[in-house]
Structure formats: structure tokens, C-alpha cells
Amino acid sequence: MDAKRRIEELRREIEKHMYNYHVLDNPTISDFDYDNLMHELRDLESEYPELVTADSPTQRVGAAPLDAFDKVVHEVPLGSLNDIFTLDELIAFDSRVRDAVGDVRYVVEPKIDGLSVSLEYENGQFVRGATRGDGETGEDVTNNLRTCKSLPLRLNCEIERLIVRAEVYMPKKAFAAINHERELTGEPAFANPRNAAAGSLRQLDPRIAAKRRLDIIAFNIQKISGAQLATHTETLELLSELRLSAIPFTVFGDIDSAYQQVMKLCETRWDFPFDIDGAVIKVDDLAQRATLGNTARVPRWAVAYKFPPERKATRLLNIIVNVGRTGVLTPAAELEPVRLAGTTVSNATLHNQDYIDERDIRVGDLVFVEKAGDIIPSVVGLAPEPDAASGARVRSEPYRLPEVCPVCGSPAVRDADKSAVRCQSADCPAQAVQRIIHFASRNAMDIDGLGEAVAEQLTSSGLVSSPADIFELSKDDLLKLGRSGERSAAKLLSAIESAKTRDLSRLLFALGISQVGQKAARDISVRLRSMDRIMTATVEDLLDIPDIGKITAQKLVDWMALDSSARLIDRLRQSGVNMESQTPAPLTKLAGSTFVVTGTLREFSRPEIEQLILSLGGKTSGSVSKKTSYVIAGENAGSKLEKATSLGIPVLSEAEFRTIIE
């Protein structure tokens, strides 16, 4: 079988399995078999780069970071809905509809609290996605939308042109996991899934959007060629047939039944995997919609019934303090148990000292509790005391976070730039488990087999309290844990030995220094080349490195100045852990130049030419702007070439680019 035909077969099979898993929640093959299919496809595309296409499953996270988003004028405006809050308002809506069109059927859908986007398909292929914006003009977020696993990059039917309206959201489980990660690293938690989704969808780097695990549900066909559809239900059924994830819906012939469904959605909203803030009631018949028309602002054929947030009052019994991986002290409320959003809540987050001060929350107060995103319980403010209790009760003193770590007794100091209060000791036992998990994680030292369960065993048994202890483990130590056999112990020790050879950038990231993420660790390591130089670098030295800001520089210098940090690095060095950068220092021939690549290239693949530009000190972008230095144009270059010409930006052929770099 030739490579092209096999690649097409693999893409179709993988897309089918992605639909089964992410849309139908009904996987038909094991993860292992799925990974093998993806592995085979990547190998073939690597061997035949000319066969790589934008709709391949391997290209969901393949675009370079953008400098800015291009504007998109919506072919069909993305309007909003009129909000209602009572049964009387719903009955009034029904009366207006029936006066205009007579008998009517209504479709009731959950209203997802996310971000509305348009999706454009041409000949069955996903070509562009844009945010709603002001309804007339949005932003091109195509590359970020490609990271949504439930979004088909190619439909199972080649419709000439299709524009779909959809809602991007962050699933509740993903929201909870991301906020947990941010809390451990001292970053502020997202307020709710909608804010998290909005921030993720507008990341200029698609790799960041991919890590946020966004999802998407289609709820309307804006425009379609070659299909005659009479009702909204037909459009939703067609979306499902095309393998798009379509909004769940029910149909009713009277407004009373529709209202009962709205109330049912309100009562069961906690059971959905996404956050919903209401229900949408729509006229089903498309001809009747056309008769009803629109006002200047909203359609007359639909309304959004908004749900009130569930909020309960309960007594704040105590405030306890948890210590995360980076030493951040996080206050948490111990509450009288209360039933909220489907579960019994006895603990809730208080976020930080500023949050407590702004709401004047004290132990013993009656407080309101909500679930942020219907998941994370949060104290949102004071509740009025019952009359009998208000006169007799004396409030406690205002709460202050401790000035020393409640676990190790080291000083706890507030970050100058943030609201976080942080334990200053790298030896703090409370941070040990999370610090070990991070140190061994895939993007850090990549110690296969040292996951959360093993890290907890190692720390609770006293074998490991510092990352340096990992490299002093023996087979006997691991066998004492009780879960490890000879073979698994040998495998873990082999992985630990391999970790000693990791690049300096991975080690620097693995140390878990506040504000020093993967990119900063890589940039610093490539420039300074050794741990010794990093340890002695000043803030001014670090600020000379592109993209390293003052906050990151100061955090790194402060961390390196700690005696506990010096001891940790010295122990790692004595264990044979690599302390040098193994990444070739980038050439600077293209330093300061930003390139946009467009069209079909002959000599290079898109990833090859972009990597070459980066290796020579240049930058790449996915859109043309005034900041663009050059556009490299291949065959069939389109709008980017036109924009470059209009802005007077130099345009290079592949041969001209080759001349420059040689």
C-alpha cells in the first residue's frame, strides 16, 4: 500500500475514534491501540512531509505562536439573546410568538456558560474559527480551536460551505484540575470555567491552549450550501451526522411543558460536565423564525432563561492553612456542613489574605458559600445574622495569615508583586510530595514510573524529602515500599539514572522556582550555559536575556540566594546530575527579525523552515502585521501575501531566503 493511501486511512480511522471518545463518550479501542495509530501516522508524515495537511490529527497543536489575532468579519452576524428570569416573562414571550405565527413548537437547550465562536468548513475541511467579538467582527482563533479534541478537522461529508455557531467551554473536571495546579504553583485561580476558557482561547501560543483542555459544542447552522432544512431540530441532527458535537435538546408543543424542562435543567445542572447558567427556548420552525424576524439587538424567536446561582449560608468554624508545592500559604474555611449544588460541603477556599480582608471574613461568621463553576466551594461573603443572634454575638479578631510556615516554622513572606504569602524554605516537608511530583514530571526530569502514588509512598516512608534524595535511592529502598517488585524497582532506578543526563533547562524547570516556567528555563539555560553561571547571575544579567522580565529575574536570584537552594544543587551535582546546557547556542544571523511563512513550499516543510529561523535567532508568526520583517511566500500564497504587499513588507522566495541565511 502506498504512503498517501495509508495516511488517508489512518486519518479517517483516528478521527472516527476521536469522535467516539470525545463526543459519544464511547471508545471502541484501547488507549494503547489508539496511540499506535497516531504513532504510525506521525512516522509516515515525518517520512513524507509533503503529505502533511492542515486537517491531519497530528496538526492539532502544530502552529507557531502569534504576535496578535487577525480580525474576522462574520459572514453571518453572531447575535445575542434576550434574557428572562421569570415564568411570567416566558409566558409573555410565548404570547408574542403565537400572535405572530400561530401554533408553534419550541426547542429547549441548556445554555452553556462559555464563549460563542463561528466555525467555517469548506469542502468538508475546517478552515477558520473566530470569536464572537461584537457580533459583527471577531478574532481569528483557528489554531487554538484545533486543539479541541471533539472538533472534527474534516467532516465525514464534503459540504461545499458550512458555517456553524458553537460554544467553547472548559469542562468542570479540567477547570478543577487546572485551578489545583495553579494553586500549587502560587498562581491566582481562575474565577470560573468561563473566565478560564476565555483566557485559554485567546492565548497567542496554541500549545498553552492545548494544555487547558477546552471542548466545544455546536448549536446552530449559520449557513450551509446544498441542503434544504426546515427546522432547527433537523439542523442539530445534521450536525451530529457530520460528527460535530451537537447541543442536547428537547422539543415541546406548549410553553408550559417547555417551562417544566427549563426547571428540570435548573435542578440537574450540576450533573452536566460543563457549566450552564440557563436554558434557551427557541422556535423550531425556520420559516416561522423568518416571519418573526429580529429587533435591532436580538431575535424575536428565542429567549435565554437565566438561572440564579445557588448560594447557601453556613457558619465559618475555623480557618486552616495549606502549603503548596512552591510554598504558597492558602487559607481554607472549615464550615458547618451544608448541601450545595448536589453535594455536602464542609470546606471551602478563601483564596488569599486580600480576599479575606476585602470581605471582612472572620471565624464564627455566618457566610455565603457558592461553588465556583459549580465545582469548587468558595466563601463569597458575609450572610446576615438571624435577629436573635446578631445582638448577642461578638465577632472574632480579623484573621491574618501566619508570618511563619505552619509546617516547618520558616519565615512566610508576602510576594512583592502578588497577594501570595510564601514559605521561604526549600526543605519544607509540606511541599515535598508536590515538589517531587513536579521534579519527576514529563516536562521536567521525566522520570518514568515516579508518579503521584510513588511520590507519596517515598515521602510518607521518609525515604525522600528532597529531589536530591531521588538519586540516592537503592533497590532495597524501593522493595521496602511493598508495592515494587524486583523488575519495577530496577525499571525505576534505570529511569532515575537516565534523568541525570537531562538538559540544564529541564533541571532548572524541575526545581520549581516561582515564575520560572519551561520557556524561561530554556531561554536562561541556553544563554548562561551552566548552573554555576545561573547561580551567580544578577537581575541585570537575566534582564539581558530576551523575554525574561524583572519579576522572573528577581524570583530566580532570590531563590538561588537561599542556603537551602545551594545545598540542593550541590547534592544534585554530587549525584552526577548534569549541570550544563546541551542545547546548541542559537546563531544570531536573523536576530530581531520576525518571519511569516505562507503558501506551499518546495525546498522546506513548514516546521523545517520555522525551526531553521528559530535556530538562527529569528522569530516566526502566523499572521502578518506591521511588526513582520519578512514574508516567505511559496506557491498559492493567499491573503497573507496580499496583506504583506499592502503594508510594504519585503516578500522572499525560498531561494532568496536561502541566499540571506547563507
Rounded distance between C-alpha atoms, residue 247 and residue 245, angstroms: 7
Q: Measuring CA to CA, which residue among 579, 661, 647 is closest to residue 614?
A: 661
Question: To 10 degrees, what angle do helices 550-560 and 563-574 make?
Answer: 70
Rounded distance between C-alpha atoms, residue 89 and residue 111, angstroms: 17
Catalytic residue among 4, 16, 71, 111: 111
Backbone angles phi, psi at 455, to 5 degrees: -60, -40
Which residues does residue 110 pair with via DSSP β-bridges, in sequence order?
Answer: 279
CA pseudo-torsion sign 170, 175, 178, 179: positive
Q: Are 247 and 272 in contact (CB under 8 A)?
A: no
Please work out, in degrees rounded to the nearest 5, the angle formed at the alpha carbon of residue 243 by the alpha carbons of 241 and 249.
Answer: 65
Please work out, in degrees rounded to the nearest 5, the angle formed at the alpha carbon of residue 329 by the alpha carbons of 407 and 338.
Answer: 100
E strand intervals along 356-463: 366-372, 376-382, 412-414, 421-423
Which residues does residue 296 pair with via DSSP β-bridges, in sequence order?
Answer: none
Q: Measuring CA to CA, which residue among 56, 59, 62 is closest to residue 206?
A: 62
Going by C-beta distance under 8 Å and a sequence separation of 6 or more, which residues neighbour residue 240?
Answer: 246
CA pseudo-torsion sign 35, 36, 39, 45: negative
**Residue with cell string 468579519:** 73
Please work out, in degrees rounded to the nearest 5, the angle formed at the alpha carbon of residue 659 by the alpha carbons of 657 and 660.
Answer: 65
Is beta strand 594-598 parallel, antiparallel or unpaired with respect to 630-633? parallel
In the residue annotation, 480 being an active-site residue is answered as: no
Q: Measuring CA to CA, which residue among 214, 232, 221 is closest to residue 273?
A: 214
**Both ends of the chain: CA-CA distance in Å?**
40
Q: Measuring CA to CA, which residue among 447, 467, 331, 349 is closest to residue 399?
A: 331
Going by C-beta distance under 8 Å and a sequence separation of 6 or more, which residues neighbour residue 530?
Answer: 504, 579, 580, 581
Find the length of the chain: 662
Q: Measuring CA to CA, which residue among 525, 547, 655 is closest to residue 601?
A: 655
Q: Are 19 and 154 in contact (CB under 8 A)?
A: no
Q: Are 400 and 353 in contact (CB under 8 A)?
A: yes
Rounded distance between C-alpha atoms, residue 159 and residue 151, angstroms: 16
Containing 251, the helix (H) or strand (E) segment is: strand 250-252
Supply 410's cell numbers: 520558616
Backbone angles phi, psi at 203, to 5 degrees: -75, 135
DSSP characters over 148-172: -TTS-SB-SS--SEEEEEEEEE--H
Backbone angles phi, psi at 172, to 5 degrees: -60, -40
Burial (Cβ within 10 Å: 0-12, 13-18, ≥19) of residue 53 = middle
- HSE-CB of 225 using CA atoms within 13 angstroms: 11
If phi > 0 it is left, if psi is from -120 to 50 it is alpha, else beta; for residue 449 that is: left
Enumerate the active-site residues.
Answer: 111
